[in-house]
């Protein structure tokens, strides 16, 4: 029992991936995630974060290394995995209502339970009032919540979130952060969050993985030992938070500078 508990839900072991031989996207990406852990991945734009998530979700197979889910490799998405895509608005079925979208992945269970779980998920993301609308009638933040509800309704153990709060306003973003942290804690989910926002990463995660510019490598893994539950004001004002934020920020800025230098170099040639 104890041994099974401590087995990581996800292990990335020297994962490499290239769309074409000349341009490697991922190189030797290694890290692991314990059950119930909240991991945030930060990295410069275009470095290959989405590519990494697609490898993790087994939507793509890595060229080198291995992705292990509970010690196993998968050719197709493992049943306990769920993902919210970066282009969430394109990932919602335009012909299904919000309620039907959320219930999309629930099959082979009886209707009563199905309806119940959909309602639960909808109220967890605060969308009950919009359940009968089509997704394209919703605002960006609501679409985002709809996609989130769809991925938690199947009760996954590992939830992948690809820049889920990138295109919403600041207030909505804060609300969504609290909501996601709350849901993940309640469902004791292991969550892997990809984000650009350093505050967000430090605020939400138990561990921050910093990626380098392309080809992406893990620059550093930083344990975030801020106490739970976290609060938008008190946590973000605590000296410990500021210290961690400073550290992550320095690492990321360093990567960004390297990226800019690489660009000018290329232009010089």
Partner 1 sequence: MEGARVTFRSDTVDAPAPNILTWLFRRVGSLNELLKISPRLGVLVKGAAGVAGAILIWELIRALRIVDPRDLPAFLAIFRTALQGLWGGELAVAIVATIGSWAPGLFIAAVLGVAAGIALALMPRLEVATRPLLEFLRPIPSVALIPVALLVLGIGLQMQLFMIAFASIWPVLFSTKAGVESVDPRFLETGRVLGLGKAARMARIVLPSTLPFVATGLRTASAIALVLAITVEMLTGRPGIGFYIENVRLNGLITEMWAAILVTGVLGYLVNALFMALERIALPWSPENRER
Partner 2 sequence: MNANRRHIASLAWQAGTIVLLLTVWQWAALTYPAPYLPALENIATGFLRLWHGDLLFSAIVPSMTRLAIGFVIAVVVGSVAGLTLGYLRNLDPWVRPVFEYLRFIPAVAILPAALLLFGPTDTMRIFVIAFGSVFPVLLAATDGARRVEPLLLEVARVERLSIPERLFRVILPASLPSIFAGVRIALSIALVMMVISELIAADNGLGFYILRNQRLFQTANVYAGVLAIGTIGLALTLALLAVEKRVLAWHRGWRGLPGADG
Ligand X SMILES: Nc1ncnc2c1ncn2[C@@H]1O[C@H](COP(=O)(O)OP(=O)(O)OP(=O)(O)O)[C@@H](O)[C@H]1O
Which of 15-23, 42-50, 88-96, 213-221 is the region at the interface with Mg ion (rule: CB under 5 A)? 42-50
89 binds ligand X (CB under 6 A): no
Shortest approach of ligand X to residue 193 CB, angstroms?
A: 13
The interface partner of residue 51, options being partner 2, ligand X, partner 1, none and the CB cut-off 5 to 8 Å by kind, is ligand X
90 binds partner 2 (CB under 8 A): yes
Nearer to partner 2, 159 or 244 (CB): 159
Nearer to ligand X, 221 or 238 (CB): 221
Which of 45-53, 182-190, 235-243, 255-263 is the region at the interface with ligand X (rule: CB under 6 A)? 45-53
47 binds ligand X (CB under 6 A): yes
How far are the Cα atoms of 41, 62, 105, 164, 174 from residue 30, in angstroms, in the given order? 12, 12, 30, 23, 30
Nearer to partner 1, 81 or 183 (CB): 81
**Sign of the torsion formed by the C-alpha atoms of 42, 44, 48 and 50:** positive
The interface partner of residue 25, options being ligand X, partner 2, Mg ion, none and the CB cut-off 5 to 8 Å by kind, is ligand X
Nearer to partner 2, 36 or 140 (CB): 140
Shortest approach of partner 1 to residue 268 CB, angstroms?
A: 36
> Of residues 7, 59, 87, 129, which one binds partner 1 by CB under 8 A?
59
Match 């996800």 to its residue by tokens.
10
The interface partner of residue 48, options being Mg ion, ligand X, partner 1, none and the CB cut-off 5 to 8 Å by kind, is ligand X
**Can you give the binding site for partner 1, defined by CB under 8 A?**
59-61, 73, 75-76
Residues that bind ligand X (CB under 6 A): 19, 25, 45-51, 86
Interacting residues with Mg ion (CB under 5 A): 50, 86
């Amino acid at each position: 029992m104890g041994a099974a508990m401590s087995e990581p839900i996800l292990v990335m072991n020297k994962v490499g991936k290239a769309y074409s031989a000349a341009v490697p996207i991922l190189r030797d990406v290694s890290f692991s995630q314990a059950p119930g852990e909240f991991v945030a991945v930060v990295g410069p734009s275009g470095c290959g974060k989405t590519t990494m998530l697609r490898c993790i979700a087994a939507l793509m197979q890595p060229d080198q290394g291995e992705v292990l889910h509970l010690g196993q490799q998968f050719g197709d998405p493992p049943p306990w995995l769920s993902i919210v895509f970066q282009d969430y608005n394109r990932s919602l079925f335009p012909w299904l209502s919000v309620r039907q979208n959320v219930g999309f992945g629930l099959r082979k269970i009886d209707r009563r339970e199905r309806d119940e779980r959909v309602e639960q998920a909808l109220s967890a993301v605060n969308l009950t009032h919009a359940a009968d609308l089509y997704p394209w009638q919703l605002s960006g933040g609501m679409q985002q919540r709809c996609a989130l509800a769809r991925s938690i309704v199947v009760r996954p153990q590992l939830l992948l979130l690809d820049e889920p709060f990138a295109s919403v306003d600041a207030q909505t973003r804060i609300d969504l952060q609290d909501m996601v942290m709350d849901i993940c804690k309640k469902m004791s989910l292991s969550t892997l969050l990809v984000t650009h926002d350093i505050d967000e990463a430090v605020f939400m995660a138990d561990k921050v993985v910093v990626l380098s510019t392309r080809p992406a490598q893990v620059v550093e893994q930083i344990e975030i030992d801020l106490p739970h539950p976290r609060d938008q004001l008190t946590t973000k004002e605590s000296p410990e938070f500021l210290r961690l934020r400073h550290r992550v920020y320095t690492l990321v800025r360093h990567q960004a500078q390297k990226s800019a230098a690489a660009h000018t170099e290329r232009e010089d040639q």
